Amino acid sequence: MTAPILEVKDLHVRFPITSGGLLGGGKRYLHAVNGLSFDLARGECLSVVGESGCGKSTTALAIMGLQEPTEGSIRFHGKPMTGPQAPGRMARARAAQMVFQDPYASLNPRQTVWQSLEQPLRLHGVKDKAEIERRISAMLKNVGLTPEQGKRYPHEFSGGQRQRIGIARALILEPEIVVLDEPVSALDVSIRAQIINLLLDLQEKFQLSYVMISHDLSVVEHMSDRVVVMFFGQIVEQGPWQAIFENPQHPYTRRLIAAIPDPDTFLKEDTEALVKVLPPAPAGYRHMGDGSVPPNVFEPPEASELIDIGGGHLVRYLRA
Amino acid sequence: MSAPLIEIKDLKVDVPLKGGKAVPILKGVSLQIMPGETFGLVGESGSGKSVTSLAIMGLLKKPLKATGGQILYRGEDLLTASKKTMRNLRGNRIAMIFQEPMTALNPLQTVGRQIAEMFVLHQGKSWAEGQKLAVEALAAVKVPSPERRAGNYPHQMSGGLRQRVMIAMALACNPDLLIADEPTTALDVTVQAEVLKLIRELCAERGTAVLFISHDLGVIASVCQRVGVMYSGVLVEENDTRALFSNPQHTYTKGLLGALPRLGSRTADSRNRLVDIDSIIADRSVLTQERYIAPRITEGGAAQ
Amino acid sequence: ETPRKGGTFNFTAPYGSAFSTLDIHGSPNIQEHFVTYAIHRSLYSWDSNNNKPVPELAEKVDVSEDGSVYTFHLKKNAVFHHGKPLTADDVIFTYKRLADAKNALPGASYINIIKGVAEFGKGEATEIEGLKKIDDHTLEVTLNAAGNPGFNLMESTTSIYPSDYPLDQQAIKPVGLGAFQFKEHVPGSQVVVERFDKYYEEGKPYLDRVNIIVMPEGSARDVAFRNKEVDVSVLGPVQYQAYQQDAALKDHILEVAETFTRNVGFNTEAVPALADKRVRQAINHAINSDLIIERLVKGKAVRAVSWLPKGSPAYDESAQPYAYDPEKAKALLKEAGYENGFEFEVTATPNESWGVPIIEAILPMLKQVGITVKPKPIESAALGSTVQSGDFQAYMWSNLTGPDPLTSLRCFWSQTAQAACNYTKFSNAEFDKLYEAARAETDEAKQMELLKQANNLLQEEAPVWFFNYNKAVMAYQPWVHGLAPNATELALQDYDSIWIDDSAPASRK
Amino acid sequence: MLKFTLRRILQMIPTLFVVALLIFVIFSVVPGSFATALFSDGRTNADPQLIERLNREFGLDRPLLERFTTYIWDLARFDLGTSFRTRLPVLDMLGERMWPSLKLAIAAMVFAVVIGVPLGFMAALRPGSLFDSVTMIGAVSGLSLPQFWLGLLLMMLFALQLNWLPSFGYGDGSIRNLILPAMALGVTPLALLARTTRAGVLDVINSDFIRTAHAKGMSESAVVRRHVARNALVLIVTTVGLQFGSLIGQAVVIEKLFAWPGIGSLLVDSVAIRDIPVVQGAILVIVLWFLVINTAVDLLYAAIDPRIKQE
Amino acid sequence: MRLGFNLWFGGFLTVLVIFAGLFAPWLAPFDPVLDANLMNSELPPDGEFWFGTDSQGRDIYTRILYGAQISLTVGIVSQIINSVIGVTLGMTAGYWGGWWDDLVNGLTNVMLAIPSLIFALAVMAVLGPGLPSLLIALGFTNWSWTCRIARSSTLSLKSQGYIQAAQTLGYSDLRIMFTQILPNMLGPILVMATLGMGGAVLAEASLSFLGLGIQPPFPSWGSMLTDAREMMQLAPWAAIFPGLAIFLAVLGFNLLGDGLRDSLDPHMRTRKL
Ligand SMILES: Nc1ncnc2c1ncn2[C@@H]1O[C@H](COP(=O)(O)OP(=O)(O)OP(=O)(O)O)[C@@H](O)[C@H]1O
Ligand SMILES: Nc1ncnc2c1ncn2[C@@H]1O[C@H](COP(=O)(O)OP(=O)(O)OP(=O)(O)O)[C@@H](O)[C@H]1O
Ligand SMILES: [Mg+2]
Ligand SMILES: [Mg+2]
């Protein structure tokens, strides 16, 4: 196996919350991400799933350098991306780019599509007019837009088209990693399919590595090579997609999968069968809760271990 | 053979413009909901699902105007009914829950009081009695420690709990019809599953018919007996849920189903490409011409 | 006609929106002195009819040969409102309070003509050397130099306080020797005083009660006066004009030329052109002062001739003001080499009678002879310090020029500092000679003659543009009698001489 | 709640401190001093010795830092110093002026609330109607009126022409004297209230929970009574509070015009004669008033809106 | 419908004021300063003096036309200063957060606590009357609302995808602020500035009234009104016309501001004015 291009090690993010106390004294910390570790290989799509508020976006922002981690390291090709040796924004920009959830908020309403693509190129030293022209046209074609449409402003596009523009912008600097934060959850079902297809096509075409954040397990199953299930800032289960979907071990993962309103599941009428039989925990360990009780986010989580149950399939257990 | 609870006949809703012209929003929608039946309405954003539901409630706001057709509730046309009649129906016989449980509740009143209001309004109960009944209603939607929760303000509750409060409120007077407009879109998947289950069970228990609106086919499949697909103000296909999912007729429905990544459909080495409607049909405008309304199969087996 | 006894007199206090204090030693403002005149008495008082200070609290005053020692035989029947009779101790007590530098009271500058005040003030002496109590009713006052102390010791800020009454109470419930005793103070509204039965002047006062009502806004006074709610009203220019045209009002107007000279002083150093006497004369000729007085000041002023005002003992009745003569002005400018004009700024406050509006009016007039004037507005509070520091090209001000002509003309003596009152840094050998001679002269008539010459010389030299002397105007209701034309400040009236007749409204009788 | 209150009160201290510092700095560089201002009316001839003495007496000759520390130290003990002019404690002088100021502010606010809120409410219930348009044009006109011009016009009409009301002054403190200045001062908050009330009510009317209320089958009037009014109150209370808090400061011009013996006219008069302790005291009182009212509004807000109490 | 009215009527009034100010030398029958003839003082309106004359015998109509220049200068310049200060502080505070944000917030709170008229009064007392002082006094004391709006706009824009995208694309903070954030909050800032212009014109009048206005003899509406106060009864026209001019100009700015707000962002709340 080749060396991973992105390594996240023991990532912690805590947000100071000011409340209580006279003069707003007493500070509490919200533990958003607690000791996250994973890596990403070239050309791979790694999905991070989990419920709202479990720290998915925070992780994404940390990878993008938009959120300084409280602890831990993020390495790109073995070089640190965080801490004192972190590269500047410019260098980071060529390593990783991001596609955002809300296609309406992710484009500057006062810039034409062309401008949004041209500015980063110029910023990164592409000065030649013809070259800029060529690269933008090619990129627009790649995402299924015409170069003529580039002269328009974002409000003249539909949600799906905007998401395409967002993708074009993410790819214009030819990054190796693209972080997708819920790239399709704001889109209509029919348009969702187009974007998913497009993302898969582009991944193949440019050998991109994706970190995809989503709470929609059916999309995750469709797109990812490996899946990370997060609960309350922690990875509770991680593994190749088949392992996760066909052989979920953690009660929370099972709960998530059972909750997917998949037409087929309901039409087959064997709902919730999955949840019932839980394979026993390894000796000396016990299962964690299934996530139906919300944890206290102001305390660090209970000590637990991530155990490899074979084939890169990791599951978190509490010590018995 | 029972009569439909609600029968919408050729409903037209427009936004009138200056100079006599109008933008059509609903272009002649017809559908029927039987007593106790759960009817799903799917369709992309802006297709007119919410407008249809608001028309039933008589809550169409300013620019929107019902310009044709009928909405018959037990034979009475709601479009021409008096304000008083509508007030007595609303909440009492036809109740509604909305998409955003965060904003659909009055932030300044306890949820108990907001539920109690239903009993005060429609059953002539006093506020004190109403409060008691509200606690019961909360218990009915499986809110833990309902007495305490009744005294909570909406902001003190999670999204799922709030949506339960909405359901408790809607079902307070045992309505004949519950209109649920995307009741779970704002919720997490696991919470969504619980709320859907609740709606399903409570309505089955009480024999309440449901008009369930969603753009999520999975959700529709999990609660509805019959599904209507809307596209651009037109009901383009209607069928029993099973039939619709297994054998879609309309191009748009086909596209919709094909676009959905289905759990378990991916095999170890390949994934089937999702269907892109635009690749099936070049000119979307013809979609509104096509219509497939399957006949209802009643218990007797006879087509209606 | 014999004065009628009794009644209430509604007086208006026009110079502020409140009485800032009732401890009269603390305030140099006229506004508070309206209260003083009812409640307090100083050693001297101003005789409005004869334009001179006269002893008030003394039956008799003996003056030493050299004119520097005054012996006051205090009135034996003068009694403070709280019952204590006046003694020499009260005068000493009062003056010591004023003299104490720590108190920094404005009255201090008036009593420092008394020997030893400076030393006492600095704390170098425990007593004021020049004050000697002979007995309870006899006080010997030694001055630093010969001269009439009346001008100084008549000031309200030197009112005599009782020595046995707590000073902090004077601001709340003042006690004095006046004809009226304090009744109540409604802050921002009015002070009420009532007849004091043990007042030392036989038969006075006539009135039972005086309400001194705060009314700073001219229009407010106007309304109240026309509604017969108040008995007197100090008139501004606009009202003066209106009242003169009103048949019902025009017969009850009291006017007097006050001892203020409005002028524009020139800085001969900052603007070279102004150093030339001919230019300054040209300015005086180029401005149609009479027109401005008529139109802007609505006739409520008397055309100024020179520095000393009408009513000053040294005023020259025969002198004529500068004639309005633009041609002559042009000729003078040409002679001085400024036919192409020049430019200067006039620092002025917003005051309607001696501020920016006047400068705006002279602006087109001077433009006609080629001089460009620019008004430079300044807040009233900053005018004094600006002028004293010489930081101006020209300034407009209204200066007190009476009642003592010697004091007034001192302001043009070259030895007087700019910060004191020689604002234009006037220096003229001839003037100095006249002034010094006058100062040394003990014969009053001769002294006045010298001062007259000096004043005429000033007119010729024109260190300022002589604009006007303020004309104070007070309207009074027909039933009011006993008002006097006080040239130091018309609105300061001896309430004890005022009486009202039967035609007064019922509420007032 | 108590803790919340206490915290809000403590939070005012730094603001007050900075305000105190700011006005101290501003008025230590202002040209002219009380002593020189005394002689500016030309009625008294300037006496450099007296000026010096006065300055020494007032401590104006001491170093700035020393003056500031004494000033702050005195402030901390609620001692605002002594007026240069009257030699009375500033606190007493302000105390005297407080009631007229409050009276004027209250009257103006009552005028504004009694007329502005119903107008705004009715306009919001009929958006786009003639009534709405007229009210809103009236409101924007009210905001565009120079207050003292309005005061002048009111004076001309009601005092000079019709002779119904006294044109100036505090009089004996009767309502008659209060009416005109209160109207002139109240017009701005009135217009503002009409606008914010309308906006607030419209906001509430268009919110989801009102749709819920309609879906419950409530009558229009019941919806307005039970749901719209209380929720709109939050915004109205805020606006009323903010306006009331700043009204004393805004009243300066009206107080001067109507010769009203309030804090504002005291402030302007004191600035004019450089009676700095009074100026500082008056500004601090005005600021304190603003802060206290704002805090009170926040507390009230918390009482009305359960969402606030939490934090 | 009303939206349109606000915009066009406000625009019309504003253009009228601008027109009057720009073309005063051609429109005015007299010189505003030098054509003063005391013989003509306080004449009522007639064919020669349309709005009558003031106490100095100057044509009020002429002076109102020229006064528009002052009002416009005061309105525009003071609002430019306010906007620059407010936007700079608010945008940087919102963007960087941290201690800088706390500092700016504290400062804003202080500025809000001191009524701006009183603050301006104090500044004018220090600087002395005159146009430059007035511009400073009004320009440096009214930025707090702009600052708050800039800050809250920045905060909400900051979480927008395109700002984050710009960061990930390597834009520097300043570049983001100036090319991404600033253009997108110009709308509300412009609205604030337009409404602020009206406020500045009113404040100028108030300060004139308190004796701290514009440098005479050049006319400002506020000082004309103040001068006229003394002759209310004899020459009411001298008070009515300048007051009307102020009213209409401020109304113009306010309507324009409202109209802009309605058309730029129908949801922007009624804030200060
Ligand atoms: N800037 C911040 N300051 C304080 N708390 C924050 C901040 N950003 C995120 N959080 C908190 O951190 C936790 C994780 O947030 P995050 O946005 O990463 O969740 P998420 O998994 O992306 O959720 P969603 O699916 O709703 O987007 C949440 O509880 C959130 O409230
Ligand atoms: N108040 C309104 N004024 C004008 N047009 C409206 C209004 N409300 C809805 N519409 C239009 O009516 C159409 C149908 O809207 P509707 O809300 O019913 O869609 P929907 O199917 O519920 O969509 P979504 O899934 O986004 O809720 C849309 O095109 C919408 O733009
Ligand atoms: Mg997220
Ligand atoms: Mg909808």
Query: Higher-confidence residue: E125 or E50?
Result: E125
Residue A229 lies inside a defined structural domain of this protein: yes
DSSP per position, D160-207:
IIS--S--SS-TTS-HHHHHHHHHHHHHHHHHHHHHHHHHHHHHHHTS
Neighboring chains of E (3 or more beta-carbon pairs < 8 A) = A, C, D
Mean pLDDT of C100-128: 84
Per-residue burial over B74-100, b = 16 or more CB atoms within 10 Å of its CB, e = otherwise: eeeebbebeeeebbebbbbbbbbbbbb
- At D79-136, the pLDDT tens digits run 888 888 777 788 888 888 888 899 999 999 999 999 999 999 999 988 888 999 899 8
Task: Give just the sign of the alpha carbon dihedral D257, D258, D259, D261.
Answer: negative
Q: Are residues D169 and D288 in the same domain?
A: yes
Task: Report whether residue B165 contacts ligand 2, using a CB cutoff of 6 Å.
Answer: no
Quick one: what percent of chain C has pLDDT higher than 90? 36
pLDDT at E271: 34
The token duo for C326 is 């633009």
Q: CA-CA distance, B40 to B256, in Å (whole number)?
A: 15
Contact state of B106 with D214 under an 8 Å Cβ cutoff: no
Confidence bin at E269 (pLDDT 50/70/90):
very low
Ligand 2 midpoint to CA B225 (Å): 25
Mean pLDDT of E249-253: 92
pLDDT at A179: 94
Q: CA-CA distance, C131 to A98, in Å (whole number)?
A: 95
Q: CA-CA distance, D98 to B176, in Å (whole number)?
A: 64
| pLDDT over 80 at B301, yes or no | no
Task: For residue C174, give the amino acid letter.
Answer: P
- Give the residue carrying structure tokens 């010389």: C457
Question: Which residues on chain E are in Cβ contact (under 8 Å) with D290?
Answer: 113, 115
Neighboring chains of A (3 or more beta-carbon pairs < 8 A) = B, D, E
- Could you give the angle at which helices B159-171 and B189-206 cross, rounded to 10 degrees? 10
Confidence bin at E3 (pLDDT 50/70/90):
low
Start-to-end CA distance of chain B, whole Å, equals 9
C-alpha distances in angstroms, B151 versus B115, B133, B141, B146, B154? 11, 13, 16, 9, 10
Into how many domains does chain A fold?
A: 1
Contact at 8 Å (CB) between C121 and C108? Answer: yes
Q: Are residues D84 and D121 in the same domain?
A: no
Contact at 8 Å (CB) between E82 and E139? Answer: yes
Confidence bin at B55 (pLDDT 50/70/90):
very high
pLDDT at D92: 86
Residue located nearest, by CA, to atom 22 of ligand 1: A57
Contact at 8 Å (CB) between A230 and A55? Answer: yes
Residue D64 lies inside a defined structural domain of this protein: yes
Q: Are residues D113 and D238 in the same domain?
A: yes
The token duo for E186 is 């110009």
Contact at 8 Å (CB) between D5 and E102? Answer: no
Contact state of D6 with A24 under an 8 Å Cβ cutoff: no
pTM here is 0.83
Confidence bin at C314 (pLDDT 50/70/90):
confident
pLDDT at E8: 86
User: In this complex, does chain E touch chain C, defined as having at least 3 beta-carbon pairs under 8 Å apart?
Assistant: yes
> What letter does residue C104 receive in the DSSP assignment?
-
**Chain C with chain D: Cβ pairs closer than 8 A:** 152
User: Cβ < 6 Å from ligand 1: which residues?
Assistant: A 15, 30, 32, 50, 52-58, 215, 297
Residue A1 lies inside a defined structural domain of this protein: no
Pick the CATH number of B6-108+153-293 from 3.30.70.3270, 3.40.50.300, 3.40.120.10, 3.20.20.140: 3.40.50.300
CATH of the domain at A122: 3.40.50.300
**How many residues belong to chain A?**
320
pLDDT at E268: 44
Confidence bin at E93 (pLDDT 50/70/90):
very high
Beta strands in chain A (DSSP E): 6-18, 27-40, 45-50, 71-76, 79-80, 96-99, 177-181, 209-214, 226-231, 234-240, 285-286, 304-308, 314-319
- At A131-170, the pLDDT tens digits run 999 999 999 998 989 988 889 998 888 888 999 999 999 9
pLDDT at C238: 78
Quick one: what percent of chain C has pLDDT higher than 70? 100
E174 touches chain D (CB under 8 A): no
Confidence bin at C212 (pLDDT 50/70/90):
very high
- At C246-264, the pLDDT tens digits run 888 888 998 888 888 999 9
Ligand 1 midpoint to CA A56 (Å): 8
Q: Which domain holds residue D240?
A: 97-304
The token duo for B168 is 């408790």
User: In this complex, does chain E touch chain A, defined as having at least 3 beta-carbon pairs under 8 Å apart?
Assistant: yes
pLDDT at A23: 47
Contact state of A107 with E161 under an 8 Å Cβ cutoff: yes
Into how many domains does chain D fold?
A: 2
In chain A, which stretches have pLDDT less than 70? 1-2, 18-26, 265-276
Burial (Cβ within 10 Å: 0-12, 13-18, ≥19) of residue A319: exposed
- At D159-205, the pLDDT tens digits run 777 777 766 667 666 778 888 899 999 999 999 999 999 988 988 98
Contact at 8 Å (CB) between A234 and A302? Answer: no
Contact state of A266 with B218 under an 8 Å Cβ cutoff: yes
Residue D118 lies inside a defined structural domain of this protein: yes
Confidence bin at C160 (pLDDT 50/70/90):
very high
- Give the residue carrying structure tokens 């419908």: E1
Contacts for E7 with CB less than 8 Å, ≥ 6 apart = E255, E256, E259, E260, E262, E263
Confidence bin at D236 (pLDDT 50/70/90):
confident
Residue located nearest, by CA, to atom 27 of ligand 2: B45
- At D141-164, the pLDDT tens digits run 999 999 888 988 888 788 777 777
Q: Are residues D136 and D229 in the same domain?
A: yes
Confidence bin at D45 (pLDDT 50/70/90):
low
Ligand 4 midpoint to CA B64 (Å): 14
**Chain A with chain E: Cβ pairs closer than 8 A:** 68
Mean pLDDT of E237-263: 88
Confidence bin at E151 (pLDDT 50/70/90):
very high
pLDDT at D42: 64
pLDDT at D114: 94
pLDDT at C493: 85
Ligand 3 midpoint to CA A53 (Å): 7
Closest CA to C191 of C3, C39, C89, C415: C39
| pLDDT over 50 at C166, yes or no | yes
A17, A58, A234, best to mutate for ligand 1 pocket (most atoms within 8 Å of CB): A58
Query: Higher-confidence residue: D283 or A260?
Result: D283
pLDDT at E273: 31
Minimum CA–CA partner of A177 in chain E: E168
Q: Which domain holds residue A30?
A: 6-319
Residue located nearest, by CA, to atom 16 of ligand 2: B48
- At C219-230, the pLDDT tens digits run 778 878 888 888
Contact at 8 Å (CB) between A287 and A278? Answer: yes
Task: Report whether residue B161 contacts ligand 2, using a CB cutoff of 6 Å.
Answer: no
Q: Which value, in Å, is the radius of gyration of the alpha carbons in chain B?
A: 20
| pLDDT over 50 at E270, yes or no | no
CATH of the domain at D299: 1.10.3720.10
Confidence bin at D43 (pLDDT 50/70/90):
low
Parse chain E into domains and list their residue ranges. Answer: 1-33+50-264
Ligand 3 midpoint to CA A51 (Å): 9
Confidence bin at D44 (pLDDT 50/70/90):
low
Burial (Cβ within 10 Å: 0-12, 13-18, ≥19) of residue C196: buried
Mean pLDDT of E234-255: 88
Residue D163 lies inside a defined structural domain of this protein: yes
pLDDT at C90: 93
Q: Are residues D21 and D147 in the same domain?
A: no
Contact state of D208 with B121 under an 8 Å Cβ cutoff: no
Ligand 3 midpoint to CA A194 (Å): 22
Which E residues 195-214 touch D at CB under 8 Å? 198, 202, 205-206, 209-211
Parse chain B into domains and list their residue ranges. Answer: 6-108+153-293
Domain E1-33+50-264: CATH architecture, name and number where available:
Orthogonal Bundle (1.10)
Contact state of E180 with A108 under an 8 Å Cβ cutoff: yes
Question: Which residues on chain A are in Cβ contact (under 8 Å) with D8?
Answer: none
Query: Higher-confidence residue: E55 or B92?
Result: B92
Q: Is residue B230 helix, strand or coil?
A: strand
Average pLDDT of the residues of chain C: 88
| pLDDT over 80 at B54, yes or no | yes
Question: Which residues on chain A are in Cβ contact (under 8 Å) with E175?
Answer: 123
- At C85-97, the pLDDT tens digits run 999 999 999 999 9
